[in-house]
Structure 1
Amino acid sequence: MSLQSKLDAFKADFEAGKPPYNVPPSVIETMRRATAELIASGAATRALKAGDQAPPFTLNDPDGNPVSSAALLARGPLVVSFYRGVWCPYCNMELQALQAALPAFEALGASLVAVSPQLPVNSRKSVRQNALSFPILSDTRNDVAAAFGLRFELPGYLVDLYKSLKNDLPAFNGDQSWTLPMPARYVIAPDGTILYAEVNPDYTRRPEPEDMMPALRRAAGT
């Protein structure tokens, strides 16, 4: 089953309020409203695209070790996945799909990292929960996400909903800003050029890992 098929199946059960979710229709409508407004804002069109230069970054892994994009690019192409956090089931399914595709990436000399604003303790949970073997990096205040054009601020009504659901992003991320990255996937060539970019303001939509393979093969060839 494709990644998107799995996401669609989860979404159907979640929005239908099936156990164990039991989510009232009002919550679903609020989430849909926020997604529709983010799409309409055109934020995704302002994110970095294929052909742009990727900003260099150094972020810490869950153990506090710095991971440099420049060092990874010195070894070959780099896949970067921006995700919201371990609290997001769509993100977890995407991370699992990327883990399954990791051998294919590595066969082309590519590295893979995932970036979220969550605190290291929650990144460690991401690693455990999804059985990951690639680095999960903490992007405090979404600064790197902002450099890629992905950071956005949650509207007040969505903040209120998150609070009612006990989804306390400031505590989860160690940051009071109530910001998140739009989910995004990039393939970056060793010279820093973005070869593939997929940014979606609808967090329930994610590209398939294999969609990146042509760009990775092109990068490996150069």
Structure 2
Amino acid sequence: MKKIFLIFVAVITSAVHAQNEVAKSAVDIAPLLIGEKIPALTLKTAENKAFDLSELLKKKKTVLIFYRGSWCPYCNAHLQALAAAEQQIIDLGYQIIAVSSDSPENLKITEEKDKVKYTLLSDSKGDLIKAVGIAYRVPENYKTVINVNSNGDNTSLLPVPSVFIVNTEAVVLFEYISPNIKQRITTELLVSVLKNL
């Protein structure tokens, strides 16, 4: 019995450790699984105010988006598509929250450029993407753009673009994660999933 308990503890410890480790590439990530909880962390708003993510998640079921930043054309296209489908998503009882490595100042640029009305939050230091297990170390050619857009808070981490659907207890009900930065969930598929959860 003691041996089984020690094995169980080792498995749990390695799973927690895997999510705190930063993957070497986008294909090596170890994301949270369906049924696990989004960690309670404080992020920054576009107005540079501290914001408790868990308090926001308690308010309503959530479509939680992780995107690379305002400099990524694939992310911008995805954010615009979500903005176009926002009313449909709200009508289904969900809110949209999008998190990036951009600094709060750069979130304002995204709001204006992509005509986004839903909540954008800054994880410029990468704490949440590491805790969720979707952070990876980027190649050299990305480091300057990340550094500039995070206002020096981050020089080497990006999230694998991801969508987590979570309930009001922050439990993951569905996830779509693709290491291919060009491949994003369509709004049609997302709406279909929301209708069936």
TM normalised by structure 2 equals 0.79
**SS where residue 74 of structure 1 aligns?**
helix
- 1:140 CA displacement: 2.3
Structure 2 distance, partners of 1:94, 1:194, is 21
- 1:61 CA displacement: 1.2
Matching of residue 171 in structure 1 with residue 148 in structure 2: yes
The aligned counterpart of 1:38 is 25
Q: Structure 1 175/69 Cα, relative in aligned 2: closer, same or farther at 3 Å?
A: closer
The aligned counterpart of 2:3 is none
Which ranges in structure 1 are unaligned for 5 or more consecutive residues? 1-36
Matching of residue 213 in structure 1 with residue 191 in structure 2: yes
Residue 195 of structure 1 contacts residue 215 of structure 1 at CA under 8 Å; is this kept in 2?
Answer: no
- 1:73 CA displacement: 2.9
From 168, 192, 209, the counterpart of 2:170: 192
> After superposition, what is the alpha-carbon deviation per residue over 1:24-46, rounded to whole angstroms, capped at 9, x for unaligned?
xxxxxxxxxxxxx835x432xx1
**SS where residue 53 of structure 1 aligns?**
coil
More displaced 10-residue stretch of structure 1: 130-139 or 60-69: 60-69
- 1:72 CA displacement: 2.7
> After superposition, what is the alpha-carbon deviation per residue over 1:189-216, rounded to whole angstroms, capped at 9, x for unaligned?
1122111111111111101123233553
Residue 153 of structure 1 contacts residue 179 of structure 1 at CA under 8 Å; is this kept in 2?
Answer: yes
Residue 188 of structure 1 contacts residue 196 of structure 1 at CA under 8 Å; is this kept in 2?
Answer: yes
Structure 1 distance, partners of 2:93, 2:56, is 10
Structure 1 distance, partners of 2:158, 2:171, is 24
Higher helix share: 1
- 1:51 CA displacement: 1.9
Structure 1 distance, partners of 2:192, 2:173, is 9
**SS where residue 77 of structure 2 aligns?**
helix
Residue 187 of structure 1 contacts residue 215 of structure 1 at CA under 8 Å; is this kept in 2?
Answer: no
Which ranges in structure 2 are unaligned for 5 or more consecutive residues? 1-23
**SS where residue 136 of structure 1 aligns?**
strand
> After superposition, what is the alpha-carbon deviation per residue over 1:127-182, rounded to whole angstroms, capped at 9, x for unaligned?
1110110111110211101111011111xxx31x347xxx5321221224311111
The aligned counterpart of 1:145 is 129
Code of the residue aligned with 1:126 in structure 2: it is T
The aligned counterpart of 2:115 is 131
Residue 126 of structure 2 contacts residue 154 of structure 2 at CA under 8 Å; is this kept in 1?
Answer: no
Matching of residue 52 in structure 1 with residue 36 in structure 2: yes
Q: In the TM superposition, what are the counterparts of 1:71-82 in structure 2 within 5 Å?
A: 71-82=55-66
TM normalised by structure 1 equals 0.71
Structure 2 distance, partners of 1:58, 1:176, is 17
